Each structure stands twice: as C-alpha cells, then as structure tokens.
Structure 1
Amino acid sequence: MTAQASARSLVVFDIDGVVRDVSGSYRRAIADTVEYFTNAAYRPTPLDIDRLKSEGVWNNDWEASQELIYRYCESQGQQRDQKKLDYNTIVAFFQARYRGPDPNNFTGYICDEPLLLSSEYLQQLTQAGIAWGFFSGATRGSANYILEKRLGLQSPVLIAMEDAPGKPDPTGLFATVDKLENGQSNTAVIYVGDTVADMYTVGKARELQPHRTWVGVGVLPPHVQETAARSQAYSEMLQKAGAAVVLSNVQELNPAKIAELL
C-alpha cells in the first residue's frame, strides 16, 4: 500500500505517541537509563519527562536521558563537568533496553508497543486522494519495525533520525513532503505530532515556506490521558506551541476532518 501520487493534500505523521504508544517503551527506557546512570538515586516520572520535552528541544530520547542525568546531578550540587558521562555508553544502555541487546533481532520494549492507528485508516486516506508519509526522530530500524513489520506497510515514505537534523528543524519535514509531492508543488501539508517540538517544526516550516499551507495537528499520547486534568494541560501546551487542533487519537483525523482543517 502506498500513498496516491495525485494528492490534493498531504498528511505527514510523527511515529512515537502518534502511530505507537511509547509510554511503556521509549519512556520506560529513558527512566531506566537515568536511574542506572544516577546509581538508582533518581528515576524520572512520566511528568518529569513531559516537563523536559515541553521545552521543545529534547526530541532525541538519548539526549533527553543525558540531560535528565545532568539535571539530577546539578540538583545535588554537582557541576556538569564533574559528572563523567559518555554519550555513546548512554545510547548503548538505552538501546539494549528499548531494542534489545541484538540490533538485528529486536527483543526489547519495542516488541510490546500498542499500535495507535491501523493500515485500514491509511487506506481510507489514500482512497480520499490524501497522500501520507512519516517524519520521525526514531531510528530507521525502529521506525521500519513498526511501519513494515507491525503495520504491514510496503516501503512507506519515511524520513527518520539518520536522514535529517532533529526537530524542531523542519529539514526532515520538507524532505518527506518532497517525496510525497511527486513533482507537484504547494500542496497543503498537515503534520501530526504529540510534542511541542513537533508543533514548533510546523511553525518553522511555515516561516521558511510561507507560500504553502502548513497545519499542525496535535495528538494526546496515551500516558497523558489517564486523568482529565493531564489531558487538558497537555492539550493546552500543544495549542500554545501552535497546534490548530488537538485530538485524542490520530484516527480522528479522517478525510472530513482534514477538509475542515484546510
């Protein structure tokens, strides 16, 4: 299944928190990593991780883990340069938890991620003449695992961590749109994400390519929907960062909703 070439509009999806629930995988791996490198003195809560990500620059979970370790050390009166952290060691520990020890045979937390959309939903977009693809800060291996192995998509358009600078830099979003447009130009673009960085990416895309319609759609990740107060606070945060609308599940962004937004 591929997106139509003659699309009137494009939808680009983030993956983590939009296509898959990562609260028990990526976020669990962040907490494990921080706990390990602080010698079990500090395990960040989901709220701690959300607070960091609300700053809009910690889309990379390896860097987020490192930053939380540093901030804990600072809270204990230690300077950053006193804490000897090796970034590659942090990455290796994180990956062993998230992906598993063998990079060619995933056995870690990634195997248990609940899906948040179906291939039938994407087919519905295709039938409505809406092209779609993915731009994510996840590694290509991790993204392909969920898109191809779990969702059964055949070579979907994907720009992953290795292909572009991290969000909120819109380079990867532009690259995804270029692949989807297939020679057309100025197609309206909706980018669907669950973080402040995702919405900032849309804002920066609009600044650099003002001739095109850019719409940011926020999605509430499952872990914030446990209470109405968390949902409301998170929704307001995404709207403040530029989301035109915030949905509780990505599949609410159906062809009728897309027409309404554009």
Structure 2
Amino acid sequence: MFDIDGVIRDVSGSYRRAIADTVEHFTAQAYRPTPSDIDKLKSEGLWNNDWEASQELIYRHFESQGQTREQLQLEYQAIVAFFQSRYRGTDPENWNGYICNEPLLVTPSYFEELTQAGIGWGFFSGATRASANYVLIKRLGLQSPILIAMEDAPGKPDPTGLFATINIIENSNHPKSTVFYVGDTVADMYTVQKARDLDNSRTWVGVGVIPPHIQVTANQRDIYAEKLIQAGAKVVFNNVQELNSHNILALI
C-alpha cells in the first residue's frame, strides 16, 4: 500500500507551497515558513493533514509573538478555503492551481509489474479523494484504483485507513499476507507501528521514501532517512519504484 504525497507525486511545489502561502496570508505576510520549517513540523508525526499543519504554523508564529491560541480564534474553514484556492485553484470545475504542475514520481508500468508478480496494491492517503483521484486516474491512468482517502478514515498515524485498504485488497482474492506501507513521513511509519500493535497476526513492513525536496544534498537525505528509520522504517529508498518485486521478496 502506498501513501500518495511525496511518494507518487512531488508536492514540494504544490501542497507545501500552499502551506507556505496560507501561513503567510494569515500572519499578514509576517511569516512564511521555509521548507525546513515544514519538515520540522512534519517530523513530529502529528501533522499529516496539511490544513491542520498550516493552522499549527500560524498558531506557533503568533505564540512566538506572545499571543495565545484563545486570543487568536482562527477560523479553520477559512484556512481550508484559502489553502484550496492555491492548491486546487480558483475554478472548482477545471482546477488551475498548483496541483496541475505536480511532477509524477512513478509510471503506470510500475503498478502493472506488481500485478503481474501477483502483488496486491492500493493507496491510503491523507489527501482528499478528489485530489488523490486526480493523480491516480487522470494523471497516471489507473483504472479504479483501491483508495482510502481523507474522507474515508481518521488521519494518520491512526491505522484505521490502513486496515480498510487491506480489507479491500484481500477481498480481491489476495490471502492474508505480509503488508508493506510505503510513505515519506514519520507519521506514515508510526501508522505501521500502530497497525502492528493492533494486529500481530501478520508481518508489517514500513518502507520509507525520501521526498524529492530532501534529496538536494546527501547530508539532508541521510538525516531524513535516519528519522524515518527511527520511526519504524525497515528500509528507505530514494524513489518508490526501487521497491520492485525482487526487493519486496527480499524484505519478507
């Protein structure tokens, strides 16, 4: 099973840019978080939802100025609306926002190879269903992919969505087996750990993927990889397609 953002598509210039825009807007241009600021927040393992991450960065900025959260009374829906205006764009029917320019990190043939190897696959993502389907169906051309999205389950690291994805895959005639969850954040790896705590009847393997914006320097990559390993990743790759059928068998 795969996370989507940072694994299937590069969101450094879309979701993360929308976070920075949103925080900058609601702090009246006083603070625009850097990619490092966002990575630091994400490394806490609690902020998989980018709307909530935006709100948290806004809160923390004002707290650094001596204000309390109670004083601010931020309107969460206003934060969501502004974020979406940047990410999806201003046209609700024909999206024209940052999502339109996300580089893909995988090819359709990768999933064909998994299927040919008898490996069941699906997606569990904190992205909205519309956003996830935009990349999976419209961009990658996948046919009716198995997907549990934001609307379908609690946010990570709660493993409810992971179990739901497994149930759909196994109902597609794949017997109870080893589960790989491929993600790019600490929260993704925590999700695997929590799933293992709740169901030790199968083997769980957390697979970390380094998102493109972290691969600028070897030092950055190594530090990020170590955080994923500390959070529970068994192995870390630079690209999801390195998790081919050969490596999957080697990891079982």
Normalising by the smaller structure, the TM-score range is over 0.9
- CA distance in 2 between counterparts of 1:185 and 1:167 reads 25
Give deviations 1:125-183, integer Å, cap 9, x for gaps: 11111111000000000000000000001110000000000000000000000000115
Instruction: Give the gaps of 5 or more residues in structure 1.
Output: 1-11
> What's the counterpart of residue 150 of structure 2?
161
Residues 245 and 39 (structure 1), Cα distance of their counterparts in 2 relative to 1, 3 Å cut: same
> What's the counterpart of residue 178 of structure 1?
167
Mapped contact 1:38–1:69 kept (Cα < 8 A): yes
Mapped contact 2:190–2:231 kept (Cα < 8 A): yes
- CA distance in 2 between counterparts of 1:96 and 1:235 reads 33
Residues 255 and 184 (structure 1), Cα distance of their counterparts in 2 relative to 1, 3 Å cut: closer
2:238 maps to 1:229: no
2:111 maps to 1:110: no
Q: Secondary structure at the match of 1:130?
A: coil
- CA distance in 2 between counterparts of 1:149 and 1:59 reads 24
- CA distance in 2 between counterparts of 1:103 and 1:173 reads 30
> What's the counterpart of residue 125 of structure 1?
114
- CA distance in 1 between counterparts of 2:153 and 2:94 reads 25
> Structure 1-normalised TM-score?
0.95
What is the percent sequence identity of the aligned residues? Answer: 71
> What's the counterpart of residue 192 of structure 1?
182
- CA distance in 2 between counterparts of 1:90 and 1:103 reads 17
Moved more, 138-147 or 102-111: 102-111
Instruction: Give the gaps of 5 or more residues in structure 2.
Output: none
> What's the counterpart of residue 206 of structure 1?
196
Residues 184 and 255 (structure 1), Cα distance of their counterparts in 2 relative to 1, 3 Å cut: closer
Q: 2:89 aligns with which of 100, 109, 112?
A: 100
- CA distance in 2 between counterparts of 1:131 and 1:184 reads 7
Q: Secondary structure at the match of 2:206?
A: strand
> What's the counterpart of residue 255 of structure 1?
245
Aligned-CA RMSD value: 0.8
2:65 maps to 1:81: no
Mapped contact 1:186–1:211 kept (Cα < 8 A): no
- CA distance in 2 between counterparts of 1:103 and 1:201 reads 32
- CA distance in 2 between counterparts of 1:198 and 1:84 reads 30
Q: Whose relative contact order is higher, 1 or 2, with alpha carbons under 8 Å and at least 6 apart?
A: 1
2:9 maps to 1:16: no
Mapped contact 1:218–1:247 kept (Cα < 8 A): yes
> What's the counterpart of residue 52 of structure 2?
63
> What's the counterpart of residue 149 of structure 1?
138
Q: Secondary structure at the match of 2:122?
A: strand
Matched to 1:212, the amino acid is R
- CA distance in 1 between counterparts of 2:135 and 2:93 reads 14
Structure 1 runs (4+) deviating above 6 angstroms are none
Mapped contact 2:120–2:174 kept (Cα < 8 A): no
> What's the counterpart of residue 35 of structure 2?
46
> Structure 2-normalised TM-score?
0.98
Matched to 2:134, the amino acid is Y
